């Protein structure tokens, strides 16, 4: 393990799977989480910022800085996903209302200030929701593009198509204009699409293992999984559900568990039929410049072994 933990900022729209990703990151000493910045996505911003603080309190990390960011996409009206995540965004278990503070500063201002003041390319940005905050920061402060070490993002799909429309994954669909800004900013991008996360499927044994931890974190993750699995089981007829966002953190911890290709990925933002589609030139049929490391493989069992061991570290 490196003596110097990786500095990261997690931009998130909790969401049960965001919650599991945050709990994984908080249990991993390889990562130095500078802050959570929240965005409207799975549920409105008032709930995503609340949920982020509830997750930190569940992990007994009331010291974590949580910022509220954008409450709507750059151009499109907000689309949320209560049908998947429930009305609170963290349905499945009752958690106490958060008492830790929400930071006063707007998340976008925090991002700009942090990337301008930190040593160049010293911080990784992990995005788990619509990329609205990042796009606003890049629009207001284009100079930070060269200062961001890299962005590891959950979003998009090529072989798997979409999950909210036939051609678009939710994070990209909610704010395709923001994704377009980020994908054309010349930043080092690692894309973790449905082509990976649909192979990171939960199952009944895993939920059993979580409950076997006899901890509040184990119980919460088991209850969240029980809840959001119902949607995917009905939709895909699968035994479990894809664990999307934790794959971002899993990649940071064990990149050897993943593989992909450096390719060109463009975002469709204007078509009413395919808005949010990630047009991934996997077969290199265009002369468009590669702008992303696009993953399509995960060692599913290795990932769940890592995830379970780390979640087991929470009291
Ligand atoms: O499509 C899956 C993504 O959309 C995940 O990040 C989930 O939390 C939702 O934000
Ligand atoms: Ca998310």
Q: What is the mean pLDDT of each run of 10 residues along the chain (315 residues)?
A: 86 98 98 98 98 98 98 98 97 97 98 98 98 99 98 98 97 98 98 98 97 98 95 89 98 98 98 98 98 98 98 95
Tokens of 299: 């060692």
3-state secondary structure of 77: coil
Q: Which residues have a catalytic role annotated?
A: 244
User: Can you give the residue ranges of every domain in the chain?
Assistant: 6-311
> Which residue is associated with the tokens 């479990």?
240
What is the C-alpha separation between 173 and 164, in angstroms, rounded?
A: 8
Ligand 2 centroid, distance to 89 Cα (angstroms): 10
What is the C-alpha separation between 78 and 17, in angstroms, rounded?
A: 20
Model's pTM, two decimal places? 0.98
Tokens of 53: 């603080």
For strand 265-267 and strand 278-280, is the pairing parallel, antiparallel, or unpaired? Answer: antiparallel
> Which residue is associated with the tokens 């284009």?
142
Ligand 2 centroid, distance to 15 Cα (angstroms): 6
Ligand 1 centroid, distance to 104 Cα (angstroms): 26
Give the number of other CB atoms < 10 A from CB of residue 212: 12
Q: Which residues line ligand 1 (CB under 6 A)?
A: 13, 15, 17-18, 41-42, 128-129, 154, 163, 169-171, 244-245
Give the DSSP per-residue string, 279-309.
Answer: EE-TT--S-PPP-EEEEEEE-HHHHHHHHHH
Tokens of 214: 């006899």
What is the C-alpha separation between 282 and 296, in angstroms, rounded?
A: 10
Q: Which ligand is nearest to the CA of 228?
A: 1
Enumerate residues 6+ apart whose C-beta is below 8 A from 222: 207, 210, 211
Enumerate residues 6+ apart whose C-beta is below 8 A from 109: none
Q: What is the pLDDT of residue 2?
A: 57
Tokens of 185: 């900013």
- Residue 197 CA: nearest ligand 1 atom is 2
What is the C-alpha separation between 55 and 227, in angstroms, rounded?
A: 16
3-state secondary structure of 260: strand
CATH number for the region 6-311 comes to 3.90.245.10
What is the C-alpha separation between 197 and 187, in angstroms, rounded?
A: 23
Q: Whose CA is nearest to atom 1 of ligand 1?
A: 170
The kind and range of the H/E element at 38 are strand 31-38
Q: What is the pLDDT of residue 233?
A: 87
Q: What is the pLDDT of residue 3?
A: 72
Report which of 169, 151, 170 is spatially closest to residue 159, judged by C-alpha positions. Answer: 169
What is the C-alpha separation between 279 and 77, in angstroms, rounded?
A: 23
Report which of 225, 223, 231, 239 is spatially closest to residue 170, judged by C-alpha positions. Answer: 231
Give the number of other CB atoms < 10 A from CB of residue 105: 14
Q: What is the pLDDT of residue 112?
A: 99
What is the C-alpha separation between 285 and 42, in angstroms, rounded?
A: 34
Q: Which residues of 225-242 are buried (b: 16+ CB within 10 A; e: fewer)?
A: bbbbbeebeeeeeeebbb
The end-to-end CA distance of the chain, in Å, is 22
């Amino acid at each position: 393990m490196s003596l110097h933990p990786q500095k990261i900022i997690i931009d998130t729209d909790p969401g049960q799977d965001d919650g599991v990703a945050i709990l994984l990151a908080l249990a991993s000493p390889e990562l130095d989480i500078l802050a959570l910045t929240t965005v409207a996505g799975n549920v409105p911003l008032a709930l995503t910022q609340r949920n982020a603080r509830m997750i930190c309190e569940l992990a007994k990390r009331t010291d974590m800085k949580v910022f509220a960011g954008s409450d709507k996409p750059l151009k499109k009206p907000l689309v949320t996903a209560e049908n998947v995540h429930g009305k609170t965004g963290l349905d499945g278990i009752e958690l106490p209302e958060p008492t830790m503070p929400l930071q006063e500063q707007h998340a976008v201002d925090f991002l700009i200030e942090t990337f301008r003041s930190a040593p160049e390319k010293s911080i990784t940005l992990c995005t788990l929701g619509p990329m609205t905050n990042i796009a606003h920061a890049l629009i207001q402060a284009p100079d930070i593009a060269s200062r961001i070490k890299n962005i590891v993002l959950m979003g998009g799909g090529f072989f798997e198509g979409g999950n909210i429309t036939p051609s678009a994954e939710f994070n990209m669909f909610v704010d395709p204009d923001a994704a377009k800004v980020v994908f054309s900013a010349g930043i080092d991008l690692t894309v973790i699409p449905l082509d990976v996360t649909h192979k990171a499927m939960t199952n009944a044994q895993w939920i059993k293992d979580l409950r076997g931890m006899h901890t509040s974190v184990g119980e919460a993750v088991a209850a969240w999984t029980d809840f959001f699995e119902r949607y995917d089981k009905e939709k895909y007829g699968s035994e479990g559900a894809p664990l999307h966002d934790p794959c971002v953190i899993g990649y940071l911890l064990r990149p050897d568990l993943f593989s992909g290709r450096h390719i060109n990925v463009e975002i469709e933002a204007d078509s009413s039929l395919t808005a949010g589609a990630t047009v991934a030139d996997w077969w290199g049929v265009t002369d468009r410049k590669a702008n992303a490391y696009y993953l399509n493989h995960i060692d599913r069992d290795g990932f769940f072994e890592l995830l379970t061991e780390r979640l087991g570290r929470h009291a």
